[in-house]
């Protein structure tokens, strides 16, 4: 599928609501499976990556039902999953395979976790090594999927993560629920805290002190009932689109505003966009609100440190904005981008380069000089976020994106929602 957005003839205007946050969607489905009782989750997104978790859970013997964006699921509790020794396919979802590994270890279940060719390239020793320190029986294939997990008693440990990673931390937090003593985790920098917030909402004891977190074992978890906030990672592409079209004013309502995820808002603001939030409230222990972006002259910035972790999934969108900002934008300390669905550093540089932008690759990031993009035909390279970032460039230059069907993996409503603002 080739996607070509029409160049914007007028400012983007309007208010939209988005499907539920994908990071939270993975968690509510899995955590509901570990709960005792029936869970009901509204605004649940139906896309390739969220289907991966639900499909894997069904293979493990915990089916769910999704009707009109309402997910219902009867939990199995902190017991071994009903289906033993099965191969659960995780698609292309790193969150699915890493979080499931922790849940399988915690419940002393037996299964093999596998996935797509792309998922098999992603590093899995970063979860396997600390799980083994806890006593888990975990085998990988040269540090990659498939991952084989066998029943084994888990012990409390104190562990320092080599890198700040929400997926690794969440895997170990889940495993800690089934250990014989508390597990204390130290991070080198901040990462998403969705798992800790949701586990607390379900009755678990999770004590956070700066970059240190201690998770206590549980015998049961309360079921979930609530509405997922809109996905800030999806909102980022609509806000980025508004940022590059002069005169635009766009609101995304009821979007998740977890401070570990709002780096993209801080960066867009630093680049000159006017951003405001209203209607603050909480869901599943997560802050939620309405975000409005008004266009203003944009300029390049330098991005590094904690901002990188707080916006790690939004760099494709930010790179597109940088292509239309005055001056140079420099991204450093973002080597983790090389281990996403693609090597996102190389992919961003290659595809913006195809469109005529002046870009260069750094070992741990990239640079973009604004005002140089001319247009052309880019390729999604199997990366849904890259597809969206190249597509929004088409609002300012003639751009086509090949392989855009990958959008169905994460944001199938991207084009119609963006079109509603034009």
Same domain for 241 and 379, yes or no, is: yes
193 is catalytic: no
Same domain for 120 and 259, yes or no, is: no
Flag whether pLDDT at 398 surpasses 90: yes
Q: Does 216 reside within a domain?
A: no
In this structure, are residues 223 and 197 in contact, taking their beta carbons and an 8 Å threshold?
no
254-268 pLDDT tens trace: 999 999 899 999 999
Q: Does 51 reside within a domain?
A: yes
Same domain for 171 and 301, yes or no, is: no
Same domain for 380 and 272, yes or no, is: yes
Least confident of 41-55, 60-74, 170-184, 314-328: 41-55
Same domain for 132 and 242, yes or no, is: no
Average pLDDT value for residue range 188-197? 90
Average pLDDT value for residue range 28-35? 98
The residue among 209, 243, 270 that closes a domain is 209
Q: Does 322 reside within a domain?
A: yes
Q: Does 220 reside within a domain?
A: no
In this structure, are residues 43 and 224 in contact, taking their beta carbons and an 8 Å threshold?
no
Same domain for 275 and 402, yes or no, is: yes
Flag whether pLDDT at 4 surpasses 80: yes
Q: What total of structural domains would you count in the chain?
A: 2
Same domain for 101 and 204, yes or no, is: yes
Q: What is the pLDDT of residue 47?
A: 83
Q: What is the domain-level CATH number for residue 385?
A: 3.65.10.10
356 φ/ψ angles, rounded to the nearest 5 degrees: 95, 0
Same domain for 355 and 282, yes or no, is: yes
Q: What is the rounded distance in angstroms from the CA atom of residue 276 to the CA atom of residue 269?
A: 10
Flag whether pLDDT at 269 surpasses 90: yes
Same domain for 199 and 242, yes or no, is: no
What are the residues whose beta carbons fall under 8 Å from the beta carbon of 355, sequence distance 6 or more? 323, 373, 374, 375, 376, 378, 390, 393, 397, 399
Q: What is the rounded distance in angstroms from the CA atom of residue 381 to the CA atom of residue 145?
A: 21
333-352 pLDDT tens trace: 999 888 877 799 999 999 99
363-382 pLDDT tens trace: 999 999 999 999 999 999 98
pTM, two decimal places: 0.83
Q: What is the rounded distance in angstroms from the CA atom of residue 124 to the CA atom of residue 370?
A: 37
Annotated catalytic residue, options 231, 254, 313, 383: 313
The residue among 209, 237, 261 that closes a domain is 209
Average model confidence (pLDDT) for the chain? 95
Q: Note down the domain range covering 48.
A: 22-209
Average pLDDT value for residue range 219-248? 96
Q: Does 108 reside within a domain?
A: yes
Q: Does 219 reside within a domain?
A: no
Same domain for 130 and 158, yes or no, is: yes
Q: Does 214 reside within a domain?
A: no
Q: Does 217 reside within a domain?
A: no
Q: What is the rounded distance in angstroms from the CA atom of residue 148 to the CA atom of residue 4?
A: 43
Same domain for 198 and 166, yes or no, is: yes
The residue among 180, 209, 238 that closes a domain is 209
Same domain for 305 and 343, yes or no, is: yes
Q: What is the rounded distance in angstroms from the CA atom of residue 303 to the CA atom of residue 329?
A: 8
In this structure, are residues 224 and 32 in contact, taking their beta carbons and an 8 Å threshold?
yes
Instruction: Count how many Cα atoms sit within 13 Å of the Cα of residue 151 in the half-sphere of its side chain.
Output: 9
H helical segments located in 202-354: 232-244, 263-270, 306-309, 315-322, 344-354
């Amino acid at each position: 599928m080739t996607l070509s957005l029409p160049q914007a003839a007028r400012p983007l205007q309007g208010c939209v609501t988005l499907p539920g946050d994908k990071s939270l969607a993975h968690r509510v489905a899995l955590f509901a499976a570990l709960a005792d009782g029936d869970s009901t989750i509204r605004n649940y997104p139906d896309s390739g990556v969220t289907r991966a978790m639900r499909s894997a859970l069904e293979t493990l013997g915990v089916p769910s039902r999704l009707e009109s964006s309402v997910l219902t699921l009867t939990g199995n509790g902190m017991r071994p999953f009903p289906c033993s020794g099965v191969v659960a396919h995780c698609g292309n979802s790193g969150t699915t395979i890493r979080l499931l590994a922790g849940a399988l270890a915690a419940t002393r279940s037996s299964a093999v976790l596998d996935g797509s060719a792309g998922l098999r390239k992603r590093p899995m020793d970063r979860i396997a090594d600390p799980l083994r320190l806890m006593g888990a029986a975990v085998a990988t294939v040269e540090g990659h999927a498939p991952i084989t997990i066998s029943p084994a008693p888990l012990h409390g440990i104190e562990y320092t993560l080599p890198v700040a990673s929400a997926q690794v931390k969440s895997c170990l937090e889940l495993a800690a629920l089934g250990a014989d003593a508390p597990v204390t985790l130290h991070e080198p920098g901040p990462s998403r805290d969705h798992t800790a917030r949701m586990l607390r909402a379900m009755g678990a004891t999770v004590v956070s002190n700066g970059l240190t977190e201690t998770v206590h074992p549980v015998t049961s978890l309360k079921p979930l009932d609530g509405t997922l906030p809109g996905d800030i990672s999806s909102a980022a592409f609509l806000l980025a689109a508004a940022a590059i079209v002069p005169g635009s004013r766009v609101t995304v309502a009821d979007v998740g505003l977890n401070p570990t995820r709002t780096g993209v808002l801080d960066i867009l603001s630093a680049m000159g966009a006017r951003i405001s939030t209203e209607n603050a409230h909480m869901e599943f222990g997560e802050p939620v609100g309405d975000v409005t972006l008004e266009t203003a002259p944009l300029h390049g910035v330098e991005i590094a440190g904690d901002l990188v972790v707080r916006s790690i999934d939004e760099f494709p969108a930010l790179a597109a904005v940088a292509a239309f900002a005055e001056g140079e934008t420099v991204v450093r300390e973002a080597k983790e981008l090389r281990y996403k669905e693609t090597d996102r550093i190389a992919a961003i540089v290659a595809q913006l380069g195809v469109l005529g932008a002046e870009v260069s690759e750094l070992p741990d990031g990239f640079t973009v000089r604004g005002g140089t993009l001319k247009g052309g035909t880019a390729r999604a390279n199997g990366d849904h976020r890259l597809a969206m970032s190249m597509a929004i460039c088409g609002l300012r230059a003639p751009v086509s994106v090949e392989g855009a069907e990958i959008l169905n993996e994460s944001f199938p409503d991207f084009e119609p929602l963006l079109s509603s603002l034009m």
